[in-house]
Amino acid sequence: MSRPTPRRNQNHSNSNSNELQLPDQNNHPGHPHGHGHRRTRSRQLQEEARRQQQQQQQQHIPPTSDYESDTAQYMAPPHPSVQQSAALAGRTNTDLNLGVLRRYLPSITSVLSIAANAVVYTFQPPSEWKRTNMEGTMFICSQRKAPGEGGETGCLFILNRKGLQNFVLDLDTVGDFELAGDLLIFKLDYAAHEVHLENGEAVTPLVLGLWTYAEDKSDRETNAALITDMWSQTLSTRDARAQAAASDPAAFAALAEAGPAAQATGLSISCPQTINITSQDDIENGPLSSCGDQLLSINVGNASGSLNFVNLTSATDISIRDSPQLTSLRFPELAILSSLLIDQATSLAELSLPALSSTPPPHVSEGNSVQFGPLSLNITGAPYITDVVMKNATAFAALQLVNFGDAVDGFNQMSLTNVKSARGLEISSCLAIYDVEAVDRLHLIGGSGCGYRFSLSSVRDLTLTNAYNMGLTLSTLQVNNSLLVESSAYPRSVSRNTVELGGVASVGADASIVSNENAHLSLGRLASVGGSVSLRNNTNCTCDFDQLSTIGKNLEMLDNSGTTLPLLPNLERAENIHLRGIINTTAGPNIFPALTYVPGTVIVEAWNDDFNCSKLVSQWRDRVINNLICNGTDNGTTTTSTPNETGDEATTPSSAPNDGLSQGAWAGIGVGVGLVVLGFVVALVWVTLHFRKRLNQLAEKDDEKLAPVQYDTEPDPVEPNVGRWREVEGSGVVVVHEKAADHVYEMLVPPTELPANPGARFK
């Protein structure tokens, strides 16, 4: 079966082991394999793993690893043992690849072939192939079947470099296979597990295509032949499995539902991958009661009252949605978790996770170990929450607290006040997070009257939304990527309307101030912006850009109603400048006194009539500004005197723009156009004169008179029509007789026209 497998749920088996340990081999004789026994066994293995780790630390022998970045390598002593070095040095690339793949899919026994890159496509009727987000190195592998199924089968495993989900195609699920051009096409017996297209759409295809990179066409053909052989072997074992299914249908159905690819998630084959919870009864009597130590996805919906997950020790992600009557969530034993999402739990007051750290420890289960990154905690729409209990909640991958405790006067227990770092921090709560030291993406949402004090030295992205009634204190701050201030609407009657961004000294990419009202934006320390500066659609706002000297791309101040555009006394350079609005004339026409060069275009569309373009025109003439469009007064449309390169004054119209061409280029264009026009005029005069001369010649010929032509109208003598000769008998005289009734008449022929005078008339 084709199914994506989470990369974060890696099965860290012993990479030096040559024997594959299947789950049924761990069952003890005399004890039926039940869910309660499996949970006890898991805890026992966790304890054994902890003891083994302590012994390794005491002996200073770090575990053998396939990754140089593993935590164990960092915690190891500086001088590894000789045995460990020898073990690592003796491993081949095939051993390393096999060890990595077995972490995801322990049933793999060997790697038969490798394709450097493969891309997964799905066939969408009637005739369209669509690309998925699955792409990476492809391994053609041999694997053992799950317990209860005999023989071996093949699989295709793609280590996805474009996401956390790998791709596994079990050849046992393939109904037909062919190589069509550069595409390996697989027709599945039943719909594959869900895969995502490049646009994010989830599909469950029946036909898959794999495009593989190959330096030589023969490589692709070799892989296709290998897959064909493995698929043929797989088909030959189906009869045996059919007999097994007939002998024990229930057991076989459970095995077939999960398949060997389920091992890649570390799941027991009798536990579903996703569990839905609506009540406490689902927790105590449903599948979760026996699968609480597995890495599952748990969805809570339409729940009410209190939920106590008494038997849950590990999970990949938990989501709580559409539960407005839910009041309490308790996870007393939960120690392993990657993501927790709570949305619109408007009555939730308590969230208890006493055993969970924001950076969970490795998950140890039967033959595998999964290392999680920091926890992602997203709580939106929990206004009445007062208690959050979490162990060592200091570092998060993502921490989102929006509409979090806004309806309460204070918090009773709040572990989240100890946050030190987060890759993403989005907050609209009055939760006092003052000790945070490192944030990648910081998003502050105001409107609740909360104050924020940060001593951060840098962030990647800084976003302020609705900064009204937000108390913000920043030390000198470097924004490495983007700055955005949006939707901050202050009432006109408010005297304190300043958005305090005076600590921002530089912005690496774009700085945008959009859709604010009645606000003063303090950016008095901002000296450089690597991207563009944009002020758009603000109403009755002021802004301080006094220290801004360098803009990497464009400066745009457009459509700011009731807003006088700020002065930029220290601006030296920008690619392009476009101002449309009320221009500040307090400093006269010189709005860019420090400007040194603008290689693009400066466009000034002044809404006020008193703005004078004369200084901008002067900077254009001095070639400080390459192109200029200015609609104020004295914009250079009149003829003025400007010095030429020889020192003499030449009369040059200084109207802008010049469309990016230099004055020399325009002079060349003018000369060329003049020559073309002159040539056209000369040609027209010559044609006119020649035509008139020809007409005169024709008129003279018409006036010539020809001498009359005399024609002889007398007919030529007609020769007799001699019919025969006859001699008069005895006289020697030959008498010629005409043929009777056969006369010849000569027709008059009109004279031909004289060739020298084709127009002569005959009279």
Residues 338-368: tens digit of each pLDDT: 899 999 999 999 999 998 888 776 655 444 4
CA atoms of 208 and 633, how far apart (whole Å): 67
Among 91-105, 381-395, 441-455, 592-606, the range with the most confident prediction by mean pLDDT is 592-606
Residues 25-43: what's their mean pLDDT? Answer: 40
In order, the DSSP letters of 621-644 are: HTTSEEEEEE-SBS-S-SEEEEE-
- Say if residues 266 and 370 touch (Cβ distance below 8 Å): yes
| The pLDDT of residue 381 | 92
Give me the residue spans of the domains in the chain.
2-19+34-260, 271-436
**pLDDT at res. 233:** 81
- pLDDT score, position 200: 83
Quick one: pLDDT at residue 146?
Answer: 55
pLDDT band at residue 373 under the 50/70/90 scheme: confident
Dihedral, 530, 531, 537, 540 alpha carbons, nearest 10: 10
Q: What is the C-alpha separation between 359 and 638, in angstroms, rounded?
A: 71
User: Virtual CA dihedral for 696, 702, 704, 705, nearest 10 degrees?
Assistant: -170
What number is the average pLDDT over the span 9-30?
Answer: 38
| CATH code linked to domain 2-19+34-260 | 2.30.29.30
**Worst-scoring range by mean pLDDT, 2-16, 302-316, 595-609, 656-670?**
2-16
- Cβ burial of 315 (10 Å; 0-12, 13-18, 19+) is buried
Query: For strand 368-370 and strand 451-454, is the pairing parallel, antiparallel, or unpaired?
Result: unpaired
Residue of 106, 117, 70, 110 whose CA lies nearest to 94? 110
Highest mean pLDDT among 236-250, 273-287, 351-365, 717-731: 273-287
The pLDDT tens digits for 58-69 are: 554 444 444 444
pLDDT > 70: percent of the chain: 68
Q: Is the pLDDT of residue 125 over 60?
A: yes
Distances in Å between the Cα of 386 and the Cα atoms of 301, 339, 404, 412 are 22, 21, 9, 6
pLDDT of the residue at 270: 52
Output 330 or 154, whichever has higher pLDDT: 330
Number of Cβ atoms within 10 Å of the Cβ of 21: 13
Computed over every residue of the chain, the mean pLDDT equals: 77
Q: What is the pLDDT of residues 672-682, one digit of tens each?
A: 898 999 999 99
pLDDT in tens, 482-521: 999 999 998 887 778 889 898 999 999 999 999 999 999 9
Q: Please, what sign has the CA dihedral across residues 63, 64, 67, 69?
A: positive
The band of 757, judged by pLDDT with boundaries at 50, 70 and 90, is low
Is the pLDDT at 711 greater than 80? The verdict is no
pLDDT at 13: 40
Provide the b/e sequence for 250-286 (b: ≥16 CB within 10 Å): eebeebbebbbbbbbbbbbbbbbbebebbeeebbeeb
Determine contact, residues 330/308, Cβ cutoff 8 Å: yes
The pLDDT value given to residue 157: 92
Check residue 657 and give its pLDDT: 42
Quote the CA–CA distance of 359 and 356 in Å, as a whole number: 8
pLDDT for res 251: 47
Question: Side chain identity at 235, as an amino acid letter?
Answer: L
pLDDT of 114 > 70? The answer is: yes
Q: What is the mean pLDDT of residues 624-641?
A: 73
Give the phi and the psi of residue 467 in degrees, each rounded to 5: -75, 0
Query: How far apart, in Å, are the Cα atoms of 506 and each of 344, 479, 536, 553, 746?
Result: 37, 6, 20, 14, 118
Residue 147 scores a pLDDT above 80: no
Residue 39: per-residue pLDDT: 42
pLDDT score of 68: 43
Q: What is the pLDDT of residue 500?
A: 87
Mean pLDDT of 188-202: 80
Average pLDDT for 207-227 = 87
Predicted local distance difference test score (pLDDT) of residue 734: 52
Residue 732 pLDDT exceeds 50: yes
Q: CA–CA separation, 344 vs 322, rounded Å?
A: 6
β-partners of residue 123 are 129
Q: What is the mean pLDDT of residues 419-436?
A: 88
Among all chains, which residue has been given the structure tokens 């249908």?
249
Among 258-272, 284-298, 310-324, 673-687, where is mean pLDDT lowest? 258-272
Give tens-digit pLDDT for 473-486. 888 889 999 999 99
Token pair, residue 508, equals: 């690496």
